[in-house]
Structure 1
């Protein structure tokens, strides 16, 4: 996090029951944070985890080799690919 002060213009409101609020307050207390700080940092960490899980691709060693080999030595274009490329070039003129 940068040392500069950032303006906080956006707001997120959450409705919750008394029990949920008490749990959040208790957890925030253990982390020496306000409830808002605790909820924000925890939610952001979980959001980043979910994004990584859904946007990152993990390959086994064998799959990585196949992928790398395909990138390093791609096959020659076949007739369908040449036809598609010609169609693309014509459309972009």
Structure 2
């Protein structure tokens, strides 16, 4: 049966002191992983959290209703919006 594991081509190198390496090794041992596996898994979890914090918007129920209503039935454009659109149209020409 063929193996379906992804080929690992990227490499990341870090320098650290002996105390830090020891802590990472102990933590990896508790998770029954190598230091590389532990560091990668932990770094990815944190990276995904940071990306979510910066790229995902969460709204309260009340705010979601306001947002949805504005999408479904937007208010008519005001003078400033009409002015901005005219400026945009002129810039495209």
Report the Cα offset of residue 55 of structure 1. Answer: 1.6
Q: Which residue of 1 aligns with 2:89?
A: 89
Distance 1:88 1:75 in 2: 20
Question: Are residues 1:22 and 2:22 paired?
Answer: yes
TM-score (norm 2): 0.84
Match of 2:11, SS state, is coil
Q: Deviations over 1:51-76 (max 9, x none)?
A: 11222111111111111111111110
Which sections of structure 2, spanning at least 5 residues, go unmatched? Answer: none
Q: Which residue of 2 aligns with 1:44?
A: 44
Aligned residues: CA RMSD: 1.4
Q: Deviations over 1:22-65 (max 9, x none)?
A: 11111112222211111011101111011112221111111111
Distance 1:92 1:4 in 2: 49
Moved over 3 A (4+): none
Match of 2:19, SS state, is helix
TM-score (norm 1): 0.84
Aligned residue pair count: 90
Which sections of structure 1, spanning at least 5 residues, go unmatched? Answer: none
Distance 1:86 1:30 in 2: 63
